Amino acid sequence: MTTPAQYVDGFGNIQLAEGVIRLELVAFSKIEGTNSSVEKVGGLAMSLPAFLRSFNQMTTVVNKMVEQGLITRTPTGVEAPKGAPAAVK
C-alpha cells in the first residue's frame, strides 16, 4: 500500500520534545497578491538521529544545486535565480 504524496510549502512550528523532533507541515492558502495565510496541513515526528540524517541529505542536495547553478548562496541563505517562482512571505 502506498501513501499519496502530500504537498507542503514548508514548516510551521518545529519542536524537540523527549528526543523527538515534531515538525508542523504548512501550506499557503488564500493567496491574494503578496498576502497569504498559512494553514497547517499535517505533521511529522522524527527521532533526533533521523532528523539530523535528513538535514545532512538536504544539505547535500542544496550544495549540488549551487554547483549546478540552479540556486545561489546569499548572506542570508540561498535563493532561486531571477525568474524562478518566489516564495510568498
Output the nine-digit C-alpha cell for 82.
531571477
**Mean pLDDT for all residues in the chain:** 87
3-state secondary structure of 52: helix
DSSP 7: -
pLDDT at residue number 34: 78
Query: Tens of pLDDT along 37-87?
Result: 899 999 999 999 999 999 999 999 999 999 998 888 888 888 877 666 554
pTM above 0.75, yes or no: no
C-alpha cell at 43: 505533521
